[in-house]
Amino acid sequence: MKRLLIFASILLLFLSFSYSEKRAINFDDFIKIGRVSDLQISPDGKYLAYVVTYLSKENNTSNSDIWVLNEDGEKIQITRNPRADFHPRWNPDGKVLYFISVRDSSPQIYKIKLGGGEPFKVSDIYFGVSSFTISPDGKKIAFVSETYPDCKDDKCNKEREEAKEKSKLKVRIYDGLLFRHWNSWRDEKRNHIFIMSLEGGEIKDLIKGNYDAPPIALGGNPDYSFSPDSKEIAFTMNTDPVVAISTNNDVFVIPVEGGEPKRISTGKGNDNQPFYSPDGKYIAFRSMERPGFEADKERLILYERETGRQINLTETLDRSVDEVIWSSDSKNIYFTAEDKGYKPLYRVTLDGKIEKILDKVFISQVRLLDGKKFYFIKQSINRPPEVFIWEEGKEPLQLTHVNDELLKEIDMNPVEEFWFKGSKGRMVHALMVKPPKFDPNKKYPAVFLIHGGPQGAWSDAFHFRWNAQMFASPGYVVIMINFTGSTGYGQKFTDDISGDWGGAPFEDIMKGVEFAKKFTFVDKNRLAAAGASYGGYMINWIAGHTDIFKCLISHAGVYNLESMYGATEELWFPEWEFRGAPWTNRKIYEKFSPHRYAHNFKTPTLVSHGELDYRVPVTEGLQFYTTLQRKGVPSKLIYFPDEDHFISKPKNAEVWWREVLSWLEKYLK
């Protein structure tokens, strides 16, 4: 017993020493984290393919490679190309892996045998391939590529695009909407689904007309799939004349040999993500009921192919369906859905009986083998995504360990949760991350992060942009409030932000701040707030309505609701959120526009924005910064000429984090 006690004491001392050696995460650590994605199981269940992406600060790029995990637990790197390899998909015989590579400048489909050898190029289409799927019989590939809709072959696409590039005239002329989207200007090209024969190489465009299929927005993942007999494809497309004001994506089916598409969804809202049942009797797809609303409840609809009958399988569940997967016997459907800061796994029978079978996890890319073994990518706020296996009644078991060595050196605390009474007398959920080497007897500054969307949510997930651990690392308590409008708390809670952007959500945040001040470890006199997109809007709104924060950080924030309406791209969004256009409902645009409260601005504010942001155009950030400067408010602008709504390039991200953390240090330390 004495020896055992001595051993335990030594072990405790070792663990204490190991813990003390851990450091707070810094940007160099953050950029080294491998990003695991796109899990795919071979048909025989013997192999798992997945993608690992690394960012390089030195090269200011990212690179993805494909790995395979075999049944013996051995991890094999399949591709080693300095250009990206991604989107792995198994041939039905499980012996060949297809993938997309940009090793030859444009993204094309390649294949490689598991036994080794050099990848073989399968496609050579001018505009490249953005995604693909293989038919169950292994004879065809359906892929998505851009095309000029009136071009009959790839030669026509090539000639037209090269002529445009050679032309010295760069003017653009439009006579309708949508004229730009996300980070690029629209031209005559559209996304179409093509069918390629793997035997003869013949390529056929399945989509006729000036439509995007899959659609440019609000689609699923994926938005096209083969029937089990390989004779038909179900896909998503929006055929409304003005897509800038339409969320009316619909599900269609079309013979693989071509023909007229048949519309099978009947709703006026967003229908997407069709999947055939393994027995071929059904197509399951997601459906929103209300047109014009991008954050309506995603219902799971079952379409009976023989009769055309449609059943809402999730009518009794007040959550939005995310990813969908069929059981091999076609008797059950499994899906994920946001729920109070997590993304658990559900099962629903074909008669609508719903059961949550895995809770308090954040998972994605669920795959099912033999009706028993689930594979998925799991993450948490202090653990980047990795591949796990799970069987009901057991704990998930980690299969990949891409980041284990790095994480051994870093001190990152798990998420904590609390609830408080917010607006309308409702309970509001908040997540919290404490700083490294947290001492409950000390007082720490607090940083409140405000999410975008606005119909989004903070979750127990490792965010690769607004990372809670990076904000906590200098010694801050990070608090993330899922205010009115957040997803995962019922559709009514989500709905209530529309038409009330600066109302209930602001009240929730302020009441959350007051609640957090009562924590003994929070220094109530050193508080800051930061947010992006709608979160940036809320920062701009806060600037005009309270001075309780020592400093603010606004990225890609909406400042002037009316000017934003005239320059953004997806017009259904402001027309739903503000109950019309500025000339039909000016009252609400005026009531909730931050620029109208500029006379109250006094809090030091850091503003950042990207030139290529067409969702919230860069002028929104410039207007806010200009006003702060003219009013003499301490402020700084970070302008990114080569970024869009997100800061993606490693060197830019390093500058952003450096400026953000320096700003916080200046006013909180």
Residue among 312, 504, 335, 342 nearest 425 (CA): 504
Which pLDDT value is given to residue 4? 31
Report the SS3 class of residue 8.
helix
Chain centroid to Cα 493, Å, comes to: 21
Nearest-angstrom CA–CA distance, 537 and 561 = 10
Gyration radius (Cα) of the chain, Å: 26
Per residue in 199-240, pLDDT (tens digit) is 988 999 999 999 999 999 999 999 999 999 999 999 999 999
Q: Which two tokens stand for residue 238?
A: 């929006």
pTM above 0.85, yes or no: yes
Nearest-angstrom CA–CA distance, 84 and 88 = 12
Spans in the chain with pLDDT lower than 50: 1-19
Which pLDDT value is given to residue 283? 98
Peptide bond between residue 222 and the one before it cis (omega within 30 degrees of 0): yes
Peptide bond between residue 214 and the one before it cis (omega within 30 degrees of 0): yes
Instruction: Kindly write down the DSSP assignment for every residue of 212-248, as one continuous string.
Output: -SS-SSS--SSSEEE-TTSSEEEEEE---S-GGG---
Helix H, strand E, coil C: the string for 536-600 is: HHHHHHHHCCCCCCCEEEEECCCCCHHHHHHHCCCCHHHHHHCCCCCCCCHHHHHHCCHHHHHHH
Q: Establish how many alpha carbons lie within 13 A of residue 292's alpha carbon, considering only the half-sphere containing its beta carbon.
A: 12
Give yes or no for a contact between 401 and 386, defined as CB atoms under 8 angstroms apart: yes
Which pLDDT value is given to residue 618? 98
Peptide bond between residue 178 and the one before it cis (omega within 30 degrees of 0): yes
Report the SS3 class of residue 1.
coil
Which pLDDT value is given to residue 5? 34
Q: Which fold would CATH assign to domain 411-668? A: Rossmann fold (3.40.50)
Catalytic positions: 533, 613, 645
Per residue in 296-332, pLDDT (tens digit) is 999 999 999 999 999 999 999 999 999 999 999 999 9
Instruction: Kindly write down the DSSP assignment for every residue of 587-648, as one continuous string.
Output: HHHHHT-GGGGGGG--S-EEEEEETT-TTTTHHHHHHHHHHHHHTT--EEEEEETT--SS--
Which pLDDT value is given to residue 1? 34
Residue among 293, 303, 232, 298 nearest 265 (CA): 303
Q: Which two tokens stand for residue 198?
A: 């793997």
Single-letter residue type at 362: F
Give yes or no for a contact between 450 and 481, defined as CB atoms under 8 angstroms apart: yes
Give residue limits of the domains in the chain: 411-668
Which pLDDT value is given to residue 9? 42
Burial of 555 (0-12, 13-18, 19+ CB in 10 A): buried
Find all residues with CB under 8 Å of 400, minimum gap 6, and list them. Answer: 36, 50, 67, 69, 75, 386, 387
Single-letter residue type at 467: N
Helix (H) or strand (E) holding 325: strand 321-326
Query: What residues are paired with 380 via a beta bridge?
Result: 383
State in Å, rounded, how far the first CA of the chain is from the last one. Answer: 49
Ramachandran category for residue 424: left, alpha or beta (phi over 0 → left; psi -120 to 50 → alpha)? left
Report the SS3 class of residue 457.
coil
